[in-house]
Amino acid sequence: METLIQAAYLIAAALFILGLKQMSSPVTARRGILWAGAGMVLATLVTFMSPQILDSDQVSTNIALIMIAIALGGGYAWYSGKKVAMTDMPQMIAMYNGMGGGAAAAIAAVELIKASNEAAHDVTGNAAVADMLGADVAILGILGAVIGTISFSGSIIAWAKLDGRLNRSRLLPKQHIINALLAIVTLGFAVAIYFTNSIETIIIFYLLALVLGVFITVPVGGADMPVIISLFNALTGLAVGFEGYVLGNAAMIIAGIVVGSAGSLLTQLMAKAMNRSVANVFFAGVGTNVVATSSSGNEGVMKEIQAMDAGILMSFASQVVIIPGYGMAVAQAQHKIWELTQILTEKGVSVKFAIHPVAGRMPGHMNVLLAEAGVPYDMIYDMEDINADFKNTTVALVIGANDVVNPSAKTDSSSPLFGMPILDAIDADNVIVIKRGRGTGFSGVENPLFFADNTKMLFGDGQKAASELIQAVKEL
Amino acid sequence: MIEGLAAIYIFMLAGFTGYEIISKVPVILHTPLMSGSNFVHGIVLVGAMVALGIAETTTEQVIGFFAVLLGAGNAVGGYVVTERMLEMFKPSDKKKEGEGS
């Protein structure tokens, strides 16, 4: 039986890897998640037959508890996952990820408490956790506990911040120093667990790690949140891999470490796209130093355009590039924009969508939102593919995007955005910006594009402005 | 059963695999991929089931229950949202090759 279970785990691990691989192309991505899902179902089912579980003194109670817990946790997640709006996807991923971290930490807790009890009742009466588990298992188990717990509480804070339930970005003065001290104390307790058999040490250790996760995440600015979520995703993977070692479970080790390394790379890619280093995200939020620079005077005035004129301009354009930002999704304008695109295409205008790597609130988030509205993925272009094309573009239509088209990222070394790769909308013959008001973007930085000679502002709510444009284009 | 050097090999190879997989993913799939990898570490559910399965005291059962609850949430939630996102990705009527990055 044991061999059969191990074989099933191996198949599951292979399905996870193949599934993730297929997710690397939009053509096969759907199949990828189905494969990975099949692996998960297989692994879960065979675990019920695990001798470890069946040989337990409390086998019936424990199996009943397992089923109830799966029904409750799975049921809640199924319901919330089906219901969540595509715009709220980042915080939902953060939440599910936090659950995984919490589960890994809880597994470690069971193992550590068990070992601690055994050690306390050892014949010598003075054994430590490490003596019971062995050095390797104890070290990886405790490491997984720290990482999993931080990922758990940190992800919950990330969820709360993105969901608009928590707006504070500071808890205490000198937060970073306090965080550093707290991290040292937590590690101290982690070492103490290893060398003692005290339950109290384990409890204090978990409480400290929980607080640490909260303290690390609270100061992180909204724009940096995707990096943090991705990092926590990678960390949960690591924690799962480590706890897999503790339990001698190959599927957990492989899946966990694959996610750990994939997630680390993804985190770096995201941070790079946003011109931030991962360390930077933790130790200085954009929001904290921006206030001083945002007042640097902008010359010129914004020129307004009416929807009618904008519609004429676009109808007779040879190429229109639409640059959507998260503001478009907030206004729920993506369906209108797709309608507008279809009308323009019928008129013979070439329409493309240009997506900045961090458009939306996560890399790729905007693609999901456009896909939801029905935009085919081959009309959507990445930054590198489209930037040279702006010179041949009659109209660049910016809707709900701001920082990602801010030319000061290239020209003004004092700008907090300086160095961030941007979409060169400014190179287009005409730029039309749909914007609700005259305020600044997510990062709070003024945007010189709005004052440029070839830029016209179409003020109004995204959805209303898009409807007006459709009306204008239709009437021609 | 998976110990010492063998474990180090697994850790190393799994690490390279993860790196390889993601380095070829176009940006347009980053969000579903993050969600998909989030689903994959939902395998923690299996470990949580074992942890609860071998629990002997009430404390261990409570913590184990918590572990399975969260692990199931991770696995199921991760699957549902990933599937929902990927289902929406469709090409234009004229079928073109995936656009790459």
Question: What is the helix, strand, coil percentage profile of chain A, to 5?
Answer: 65, 5, 25
**Mutating which of B37, B88, B90 best tests the A interface, going by the most A Cβ atoms within 10 A?**
B37
pLDDT of residue A231: 93
CB contact under 8 A, B10 and A84: no
pLDDT of residue A299: 57
Q: In what order do the strands lie in the sheet with A395-399?
A: A380-382, A350-355, A319-324, A395-399, A430-435, A455-459
Task: Using the CB atoms, write b or e for A195-229: b if 16+ within 10 Å.
Answer: ebbbeebbebbbebbbbbbebbbbbbbbbbbbbbb
The answer to whether residues A52 and B53 touch, using CB atoms and an 8 Å cutoff, is: yes
CA distance, residue A463 to nearest chain B CA (Å): 21
The closest alpha carbon to A230, from A158, A171, A290, A284, belongs to A158
CA distance, residue B68 to nearest chain A CA (Å): 6
Residue A380 has which token pair?
Answer: 């959507």
Amino acid, single-letter form, for residue A176: H
Q: Could you list the active site residues of A?
A: 403
Strand ranges (DSSP E) for A5-52?
A: none
CB contact under 8 A, B99 and A380: yes
CA distance, residue B21 to nearest chain A CA (Å): 6
CB contact under 8 A, A96 and B99: no
ipTM of the complex: 0.89
Per-residue DSSP letter, A302: P
Residues in B closer than 8 angstroms to A250, CB to CB, are: 2, 10
Q: Tokens 């790769």 — which residue?
A: A421
Residues in B closer than 8 angstroms to A30, CB to CB, are: 83, 86-87, 89
CB contact under 8 A, B51 and A384: no
Confidence bin at B29 (pLDDT 50/70/90): confident
The answer to whether residues A347 and A318 touch, using CB atoms and an 8 Å cutoff, is: no
**Mutating which of A20, A33, A54, A240 best tests the B interface, going by the most B Cβ atoms within 10 A?**
A33
First and final CA of chain B: distance in angstroms?
Answer: 42
Beta-sheet pairing, A380-382 with A455-459: unpaired
pLDDT of residue A288: 43
Neighbours of A249 (CB within 10 A): 30
- The beta-carbon neighbor of B30 closest among A70, A244, A364 is A364
Q: Which of residues 10-29 of A touch B (CB under 8 A)?
A: 12, 16-17, 19-21, 23-27, 29
CA A374 → CA A59, A337, A370, B80, B88, distances in Å?
A: 50, 10, 6, 20, 8
Q: Tens digit of pLDDT per residue, chain A (476 long)?
A: 788 999 999 999 999 999 998 888 888 888 999 999 999 999 999 999 998 889 888 889 999 999 999 999 999 999 999 999 988 888 999 999 999 999 999 999 999 999 998 888 887 767 888 888 888 999 999 999 999 999 999 999 999 988 888 877 777 777 888 889 999 999 999 999 999 888 999 999 999 999 999 999 988 876 778 889 999 999 999 999 999 999 999 999 999 999 999 999 888 887 877 777 777 776 654 444 443 344 444 556 788 899 889 999 999 999 999 999 888 888 888 899 999 999 999 999 999 999 987 777 777 888 888 998 889 888 999 888 899 999 999 999 999 888 889 888 888 888 777 888 889 999 999 999 998 877 666 666 788 898 888 999 998 888 889 999 999 998 87
Residue A55 has which token pair?
Answer: 């040989």
- 3-class secondary-structure state, position A324: strand
How far is Cα A263 from Cα A244, in angstroms, rounded to an integer? 18
| Residue A472: φ, ψ to 5° | -65, -45
State CA A80 to chain mean position distance: 17
How far is Cα A103 from Cα A148, in angstroms, rounded to an integer? 8
- Whether chain A has a CB inside 8 Å of the CB on B27: the answer is yes
CA A449 → CA A312, A389, A409, A432, distances in Å?
A: 22, 18, 11, 10
pLDDT of residue A296: 45
- The beta-carbon neighbor of B89 closest among A16, A63, A377 is A377
CB contact under 8 A, B67 and A56: no
